[in-house]
Amino acid sequence: MIFRNRPLVRLGAAALLASGAFAAFGAPAHAAGTETDLALDVVGTRVADGAVGKLAFAKVTNKGENTPSELGVRLDVSKLDWTKVAVVPVLITGDCELEGTEAKPTAWTCFAAKDSLPGPGETIDLPIVLIKALDSLKKAYSAPVKFTIISKDDTNKDNNTKSVNVEFTKENGADLFVLADDVKNAVRVKNGAIEFAGDLHAGDTAPLIYTVWNQGDRPTAGLKVTVKLPKGVTFTDTEPQCEEAADHVSLVCTYPDLPYVPLLPSDEGDDGDDGVPGGIFYHLLSVSEDVKAGALTGGTVSVEPILPPRDVALKSFKIKHKPANMTPLKKADLDGDLDASDNTDGFAVIVVAEGGAGGGLPVTGAKAGLIGGIGVAVLVVGGALFLVARRRRVVLVTPADEKSTD
């Protein structure tokens, strides 16, 4: 199978960048796993007509009280017409087992490394690339893909399987996606700079970090973000374009002059180099002093596009007023959002008991430090992939790659 679309080269380079990021940042170790409850969700499986592809995600959340000793996700892709489209886990070189042939895979099985298994309340994500094998599809195409969790420690099989239709539509529009980090690190503000300060304890300040980008084929004019916090957490302060509820646990931010151009534009037409496809945001949170150690769950980040007039040219979409709490992701008119399944992402606040080992990364300043280490990765389409690595540090390996440390 030969992919002829030029942006796919960028996507391949991005995957390599993401792989390097995984190795560079490493992952925190968890205690040995036992029985637990792992739940599966899949989001982001509709592709706009003018986009060559997009990233979908298989999300595995630990709803139990223990860390599993193993975790895999199997993708049954046997129903796909591989002469038209492809559905592939991002990290496939030596990392995921392939069933079938390279020309016509029937399934992928990917396993998380032992030091990245999700603890109680945590979520890890498996990025899935949806791409066209042809320059364009003459008509809409859809096919079912079945996702299944593999873990001997899972005690509840009712939430282990998800079947979705991957859809390559003939519709055009913006398609926002949000990915929110689990909140696991404390920070301190010193002389106007923000520094990471190890594990998060009761009474600490912590950053909620999330990224938003546009995977559709039309630009947005702006963005609306709604953040809801778990019980026991409040906002430390409020940005100028955000309105906080009286209970300090929900926040609505409206950015009418924050346009996002498509992340993966078609080969035909403007690449959108005058605009940005997305950005990384943060908010500082305060953890109550009386909360118990463990996972505070129920936090969400939701995004909505503010759409432009239909007659506005793409080249005019430049950010006029950049929010202080956002770092743009640079790169070269439907009503609503083309795929709303990926407009909301959950997060947990992981509080560690006093005396737990700290492992925070010291950084210097909000703009550079909170995003620490992104560098050139955000200059290509792989900025989105890099954030997945930065977020939950999923390292995918085949079982044969696992070596005992005994």
Q: What is the pLDDT of residues 265-299, one digit of tens each?
A: 554 444 444 578 888 888 999 999 999 999 999 99
Residue 155 has pLDDT above 80, yes or no: yes
Tell whether 406 is covered by a domain.
Answer: no
Over residues 340-351, the mean pLDDT reads 89
Tell whether 368 is covered by a domain.
Answer: yes
Cα–Cα distance, 166 to 270 (Å, whole number): 26
What are the C-alpha distances in Å from 235 to residues 99, 140, 251, 327, 371? 47, 44, 8, 20, 19
Residue 161 half-sphere exposure toward CB, CA atoms < 13 A: 7
- β pairing state of 222-228 and 294-306: antiparallel
- Asked whether 85 and 3 are in contact (CB, 8 A), the reply is no
Tell whether 190 is covered by a domain.
Answer: yes
Cβ-based neighbour number of residue 120 at 10 Å: 18
What's the distance, CA 110 to chain centroid?
17
Over residues 117-126, the mean pLDDT reads 89
pTM above 0.85, yes or no: no
Tell whether 39 is covered by a domain.
Answer: yes
In SS3 terms, 258-320 reads as CCCCCCCCCCCCCCCCCCCCEEEEEEEEEECCCCCCEEEEEEEEEEEEECCCCCCCHHHCCCC
Please give the single-letter amino acid code of residue 231: K
pLDDT by residue (tens digit) across 50-92?
Answer: 888 888 889 999 999 999 998 999 999 999 998 888 888 875 3
pLDDT for 23: 29
Tell whether 248 is covered by a domain.
Answer: yes
Tell whether 1 is covered by a domain.
Answer: no
Residue 213 has pLDDT above 90, yes or no: no
pLDDT for 264: 64
- Of the two residues 264 and 43, the one the predictor is more confident about is 43
Structural domain containing residue 195: 6-401
Looking at the DSSP bridge assignments, the partners of residue 112 are 396
Classify residue 11 by burial, with Cβ atoms within 10 Å: 0-12, 13-18, 19+: buried
- Tokens representing residue 102 in the block: 């390279």
H/E segment holding residue 141: strand 141-150
The count of domains in the chain is: 1
